[in-house]
Amino acid sequence: MNTVRTVMLMTLLTLVLVTAGGALGGQGGALFALILAAAMNLGSYWFSDRVVIAMYRGREVQSGPLYEVVQEICQRGALPMPKVCILPQPTPNAFATGRNPEHAVVAATEGILAILSREELLGVMAHEMSHVKHRDILIGSIAATLAGAISYLAHMAQWAMIFGGGRDDEDSNPLTLILMMILAPIAAMLVQMAISRSREYEADRGGAQLSGSPHHLASALRKLETANSRSPMPRVNEATAHMFIVNPLRGGGFKSLFSTHPPVEERIRRLESMPHS
């Protein structure tokens, strides 16, 4: 169901782009915005493994508890062994990145190694390897490209109106254009965040299957959420927040609409309702 939901959301995001393109920039404007957004996101997608690890000062390891857990998961799931990195952060968290399973990196903070049991760590890293297996970095990059194109369209239309270069169609309504400039980027962001949340649910499910027990991941999520609530990770780049297994940025209420992560309580509830493999 999460896969179907992702496809539906990606289709919706495409429809928003087509609609916004027709209203704000025409077919040519939409194509230009899409090419611009794709160029901006391509570098991020292709070099994400090196850029993000360097950003958080990660160091690669080829032995030790974290490496052994990832190696066990890869053997269970017949997956290519990724690079394994440890981040010098006391706040417990983890993420996966890389453009495909053959160029993947999984990383965990020093804090996560300090508070989780081996079984819980197995559940967390299985979640991350599920992201790798299902190419969620690619899905997220496509969603970011579509959403970025819509945002660029809105900015282009705004500047066109300011400098008098807007569309001269007889059917165009200035109020409609203004509403589209405001609402289209918000709608795109909401759909993009919904796609991210859907992939988190799917990674939880896939991680439970890879690790052999959904309850170990549920227990780990409970510990991680408590630790991140008490002491959030410092100096987090918002552009990378969606990659972590629990949201390193705090925010609730209205902000939860724009969250890249579903509520941890709901994730735990779904995991605990799953049978053991």
* Token pair recorded at residue 103: 């160029």
Q: Identify the bridge partners of residue 84 per DSSP, sorted by sequence position.
A: 61, 106
Known catalytic residues are 128
Angle ∠(225,111,210) on CA atoms, nearest 5: 70
CB–CB of 111/87 below 8 Å?
A: no
The DSSP output letter for 244 is B
**Sign, CA torsion 18/9/37/149:** positive
In angstroms, the first-to-last Cα distance of the chain is 19
CB–CB of 217/124 below 8 Å?
A: yes
Among 261, 225, 242, smallest CA distance to 96 is for 242
Q: Taking the C-alpha atoms of 247, 194, 54 and 207 in order, what is their torsion angle to the nearest 10 degrees?
A: 70
Buried b (16+ CB within 10 A) or exposed e, 45-64: beebbeebbeebebeebeee
131 labelled as ligand-binding? yes
200 labelled as ligand-binding? yes
Cα–Cα distance, 176 to 4 (Å, whole number): 32
* Token pair recorded at residue 177: 């254009």
Residues belonging to the binding site for Zn(2+) are: 127, 131, 200
Residues belonging to the binding site are: 127, 131, 200
